[in-house]
């Protein structure tokens, strides 16, 4: 086991990890942050999306040991984020949530998109969210939620 120390959602956290443990596993099983979901574990679905030093990444493909000293923000850390708050409301209002398994990952990715661009074109939205898969909604309502959240942020 190795000791890993990093910042998660603004607080310094420390725990043991076995070498080869993914950041996703570390967040869920060591730190009890279950918002990041564990689905494909191969970078295909985006349900494990987090911000790593401000960049959107799939935490299933990051070693916990490689996150030593990094700043991680998970969906839980977006609780008081003004952009994420509009995204969550818009997801509910537009019907962008069905089973909900993909939702935390989408909220993280949508927040990242809208931080840089309040009114992305349809193509920009599709591209920005293309690392996130949803098996339920057919995406149309998720794209609608991006537009609503963008408008609400004006």
Partner 1 sequence: MLRLPRLRYLRPATAGEAAASLSKLGSRAMFVAGGTDLFPNLKRRQFEPDTLVQVPPLKGVRRVDGHFEIGATVTLAEAAADPGLRAALPGFAEAAGLVSSPPLRNAGTVGGNLCVDTRCNYYNMTYEWRKSIGFCLKKDGDICLVAPSSPRCWAVSSSDTAPAAMVLGASVVLVGPDGERELPVAELYRDDGIEYLAKQPHEVVTAIRLPAPEGLLTAYVKLRRRGSIDFPLAGAAVALTLDGPIVTGCRIALAAVASHPLEVPEAGAFLAGKRLTDETISAAAELAAKPARPLDNADLTHFWRKKMVRVIVERAIRQAATPSTT
Ligand X SMILES: Cc1cc2nc3c(=O)[nH]c(=O)nc-3n(C[C@H](O)[C@H](O)[C@H](O)COP(=O)(O)OP(=O)(O)OC[C@H]3O[C@@H](n4cnc5c(N)ncnc54)[C@H](O)[C@@H]3O)c2cc1C
Residues binding ligand FES (CB under 6 A): 38-41, 43-48, 58, 60, 97-102, 134-137
List 122, 127, 138, 151, residue binding partner 1 (CB under 8 A) = 127
Measured between alpha carbons, how far is residue 80 from residues 10, 23, 36, 145 in Å? 12, 23, 17, 19
125 is in the binding site of which of partner 1, ligand FES, ligand X, none (Cβ under 5 to 8 A by kind)? none
CA 54 to mean position of chain CA atoms? 11
Tally: H helices and E strands in the chain: 5, 5
| Number of residues engaging partner 1 in binding (CB under 8 A) | 31
List 11, 12, 32, 55, residue binding partner 1 (CB under 8 A) = 55
Q: Which is nearer to ligand X, 44 or 79 (CB)?
A: 44
- Tokens at 93, concatenated: 């209002």
List 8, 27, 31, 57, residue binding partner 1 (CB under 8 A) = 57
Q: Is 79 in the site for ligand X (CB under 6 A)?
A: no
DSSP conformational letter for 116: H
List 22, 74, 103, 111, residue binding partner 1 (CB under 8 A) = 22
The greatest distance separating any two alpha carbons of the chain, rounded to the nearest whole angstrom, comes to: 48
Whether residue 13 contacts residue 31, with contact meaning beta carbons closer than 8 Å, is answered with yes
């Amino acid at each position: 086991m190795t000791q890993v120390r990093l910042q998660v959602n603004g607080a310094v956290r420390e725990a043991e990890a076995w070498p080869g443990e993914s950041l996703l596993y570390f967040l869920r099983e060591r730190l009890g942050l279950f918002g990041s979901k564990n689905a494909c574990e191969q970078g295909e679905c985006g349900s494990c999306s987090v911000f790593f030093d401000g960049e959107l990444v799939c935490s299933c493909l990051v070693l916990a040991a490689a996150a030593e000293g990094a700043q991680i923000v998970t969906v839980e850390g977006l609780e008081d984020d003004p952009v994420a708050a509009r995204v969550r409301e818009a997801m509910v209002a537009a019907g962008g949530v069905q089973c909900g398994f993909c939702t935390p990952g989408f909220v993280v990715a949508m927040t990242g998109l809208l931080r840089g661009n309040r009114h992305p074109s349809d193509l920009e939205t599709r591209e920005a969210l293309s690392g996130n898969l949803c098996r339920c909604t057919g995406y149309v309502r998720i794209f609608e939620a991006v537009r609503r959240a963008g408008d609400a942020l004006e």
